[in-house]
Structure 1
């Protein structure tokens, strides 16, 4: 199999149905491999940036990672804005960029660009595939990383000679090159948090106590609720059982029925007045998959004064549930933190 044929087979086995991109010489072998395929629908806009944003929208709507194909040089640099957008919003975006042949790397070849170096700050993970035997593993890693934990973008840079070369069985066995044995359909999903349930028990018990004690609690729901399996159902169950009003971030819209009487609608500088007032006057704020963005908090020193006072008195405070540890206490210091889904 050639590298391009391996790419085709890996996409099929990962359950990819739709790809977005724009042609170019460095990615041509891959495009040739998928051109006549009955497995994929290839969408070609007028610009690589458009392909990236289309793939983001596809991921948001379907819950599956968006896959993008671009060529080297300007094709790759044009995808940078969608990569940063996907990183900011937690969208699983997988970009495969063509690259000049490995022998030409570092020679300032036509349309050569260090896209791995440039994209390091706006991806969860990126890699250049320097040998055809590495290609299946790198593709597997791309899908795993893009969809695990907090979803986000990854980039796999593939030199042209890798997609045109042939992987023989002897090389494959020596390198332990593996293709998935069964077709899979990758969807957005969080890490299994069962292993940490015991360590979270005390924190969850404290949250339950605060819910029973607080007189003006508010649930502050973000995009993490939407990307969590059954997150919106669990949010609705919590709000109904505890009779707590819910406000959402811009990225969290859709996590809670806005026709529900408990809905405060969106908060923040572009949100409703009553949602912002509720947050300021709440004695307990339960943040679920939200990161206390500056558009929500405004001046952090003046944010949630009632909850801060309630924390001092032991009858409330700010609770933060998030899949990423780095998001906890990053902007707002909280009283109870739970890392997980």
Structure 2
């Protein structure tokens, strides 16, 4: 009989469910989580103490979801946000919905009351699984700690693949504290690639070659698919003019000679007339949203449609596609190599593009917001990311800034979330610290999440905020002026605080300007300042956004009341 001791079998380490959750996030490459602690999710926050994942403590859970949104859009990674049960979870809902409508990959993790209390109206219990069903790609309530690793892996796969979007993981407190054997992070198969329909590609080539007035209509799907280089090559190889949705701006640089502008409600005249007169509309990564199409029944009335998208649900949903192509432009580009004979159409579009260029010589000494934003865009470093809120300033940013890449222009498109700007810009700056980040906000929007100035200060996140203050809910006021007989209702914000003083109270450097001769120095100071900075800009309360397509009106029937040009100096 041997006297040598037998080796003791290796034991599988046992850890809490909360620790398993953090390890599974680490395995997915998560570097940063945005969140706010509370009772039901406290075990996860205890596990964070021993995790290399960086946690950013926001001051409101909506800020966490919107910061994760900005982080995901700019970095290309999945954004992660966390909150406790009840009000913590419901405060995430707007940010989750924003990510769903704008196809942003996000994993939202919520604490939940212990399993045996679920359904009893326990303290801080809500059915967040049920509440978010219409605004997530998928959701889970984890009932067994042994399922945590596989659930996290599947959540990230679903958030990323196909048309990206948010998913929800609801974690009861008893599952978070239960012990589980840790055998490593789970794996799951990738979604198979969609085969290319060669016959459809050939039909598309034929339509392009036969067209006399083709137009490329591009959206945010180009950015999601990483297909900006392919789009630019397609445009230049074919010579086809390009228009873009709000979120697709930058797919082709806005100063490119073939780019006619944004289409739709506040689109350029060149873009909207181009759409209405084209005979072939090549839709790439866009969804025929009502803000882009105007009166749908009269949108591009003479055009056949080629629709290219990764989401089959969008094909022919609102406009019949004569040819549909499932996949990405990068995959399909080699098959679409052709050049139609469209010299007359190109010349007409170029002429209209030149005629549609905005003027910035408005009279008077007040600050003209479009001119300020244009100048900001000109002097900002070329890799600057602009995140903006919702309202008139959002449209001015779209119309007047130079957009070089889709991921350099972040805006809440589908949901139109006021309060998006500051937390989204914060997420960008944390995810991509080497990039300058500007937030353009309005006096209405910034008050929705102004508490996040405290987060900027705590982490010294160097977001530069340009706050356009017209002492009103400007876009609502404009619509009441134009479509409700100037019956102004609840749009007066003349009792706003002094925003520069308020920013300083948060510990953020700030300045205020109200004359156009102050603009140049103020913008240079903004970009030269280390750390966060707020530039408070007073503008005309009566300034409107032009052009404007009225509701239920075809896009070519634009209202245009741009300010008159000042008399040139002798």
Residue of structure 2 in register with 1:4 after alignment: 18
* Alignment map for 1:160-179 (pairs within 5 Å): 160-168=173-181, 179=185
Residue of structure 1 in register with 2:300 after alignment: 304
* Alignment map for 1:73-222 (pairs within 5 Å): 73-168=86-181, 179-180=185-186, 193=193, 195-197=194-196, 200-222=197-219
TM-score, length of structure 2 as denominator length: 0.54
Q: 1:228 aligns with which of 219, 225, 228?
A: 225
State the secondary structure of the residue aligned to 2:123: coil
Q: 1:250 aligns with which of 237, 241, 246?
A: 246
Distance 2:251 2:154 in 1: 29
Deviation of 1:15 after TM superposition, in Å, equals: 0.4
State the secondary structure of the residue aligned to 1:26: coil
Distance 2:149 2:322 in 1: 45
Residue of structure 2 in register with 1:61 after alignment: 74
Structure 1's 213 and 286: CA in aligned 2 closer, same or farther, altered over 3 A?
A: same
Residue of structure 2 in register with 1:326 after alignment: 313
Structure 1's 191 and 267: CA in aligned 2 closer, same or farther, altered over 3 A?
A: farther
Pair 1:338-2:325 in alignment: yes
State the secondary structure of the residue aligned to 2:66: helix
Distance 1:104 1:300 in 2: 49
Deviations 1:270-290 (A, max 9, x none): 221110110111111100010
State the secondary structure of the residue aligned to 1:237: helix
Residue of structure 1 in register with 2:39 after alignment: 25
Deviation of 1:191 after TM superposition, in Å, equals: 5.5
Moved over 4 A (4+): none
From the CA coordinates, give the structure whose radius of gyration is larger: 2
Between structures 1 and 2, the one with greater helix share: 1
Deviations 1:53-82 (A, max 9, x none): 010000010011110010000000111111
State the secondary structure of the residue aligned to 2:156: helix
Q: CA contact under 8 A between 2:61 and 2:91: conserved in structure 1?
A: yes
Deviation of 1:323 after TM superposition, in Å, equals: 1.2
Deviation of 1:296 after TM superposition, in Å, equals: 1.1
Deviation of 1:339 after TM superposition, in Å, equals: 2.1
Deviation of 1:137 after TM superposition, in Å, equals: 1.0
Deviations 1:207-235 (A, max 9, x none): 11111111111101111100103x00100
Q: CA contact under 8 A between 2:146 and 2:181: conserved in structure 1?
A: no
Pair 1:285-2:275 in alignment: no
State the secondary structure of the residue aligned to 1:25: coil
Distance 1:304 1:48 in 2: 42
State the secondary structure of the residue aligned to 1:54: helix
State the secondary structure of the residue aligned to 2:179: coil
Residue of structure 1 in register with 2:236 after alignment: 240
State the secondary structure of the residue aligned to 2:100: helix
Distance 2:266 2:175 in 1: 48
Distance 1:122 1:201 in 2: 34
State the secondary structure of the residue aligned to 2:302: helix
- Give the gaps of 5 or more residues in structure 1: 173-177, 182-189, 308-316
Residue of structure 1 in register with 2:512 after alignment: none
Deviation of 1:179 after TM superposition, in Å, equals: 1.4
Deviation of 1:180 after TM superposition, in Å, equals: 4.0
Deviation of 1:192 after TM superposition, in Å, equals: 5.2
Distance 1:113 1:35 in 2: 27
TM-score, length of structure 1 as denominator length: 0.89
Distance 2:27 2:321 in 1: 43
State the secondary structure of the residue aligned to 1:254: coil
**Equivalent residues, number:** 313
Distance 1:108 1:293 in 2: 40
Distance 2:112 2:186 in 1: 25
Distance 1:91 1:121 in 2: 15
Pair 1:15-2:29 in alignment: yes
